[in-house]
Amino acid sequence: MKGTIEELWHGNIIPHEDSRTNSKEMKELLGYIARHHEDLEKSLTDEQKEIFEKFHDCWSEYMSLAEKAIFVYAFKLGGRLMLETLLEQRKKLIRSKQRKRRFTRVVSRLEIYLPFLPLPLRLWW
């Protein structure tokens, strides 16, 4: 875990870049987007290019904020899932220990009556 956290801190792990380009379909789609973007810019007047550039800048900023919000949400969700899993395991362990204690109490109570039991039962015990 120490290695992953350090890699994330040093910028060697970049989730928003790694997650977007990891599939063949996404790479292909990015190629189409770039090609259509170039074709669109060629067909625009200078005034339209300026408006489109402003739109593109706003959209990029919005997407950056949205990706950050999604990352934060997903990270917290992952943390909650881990916590819930660990707490459930802890509850199971506690229940198991409680069962063992109850069994031990029952056995200790039965041992009080051991001298009064018939010999075959005492030998079995």
| Residue 10 counted as domain residue | yes
Position of tokens 């199971």? 92
* Domain span at 35: 1-43
**Mean of the per-residue pLDDT values of the chain:** 81
| Residue 91 counted as domain residue | no
| Residue 77 counted as domain residue | no
| Residue 19 counted as domain residue | yes
Instruction: Please give the single-letter amino acid code of residue 51.
Output: I
In order, the DSSP letters of the chain are -HHHHHHHHTTS--HHHHTTSSSHHHHHHHHHHHHHHHHHHHHS-HHHHHHHHHHHHHHHHHHHHHHHHHHHHHHHHHHHHHHHHHHHHHHHHHHHHHHHHHHHHHHHHHHHTGGGS-HHHHHH-
Residue-wise pLDDT for 57-106, tens only, equals: 999 999 989 988 888 888 889 888 888 888 888 888 888 888 787 777 77
| Residue 5 counted as domain residue | yes
The reported pTM is 0.54
- The residue that leads in pLDDT, 124 or 58, is 58
| Residue 119 counted as domain residue | no
The count of structural domains within the chain is 1
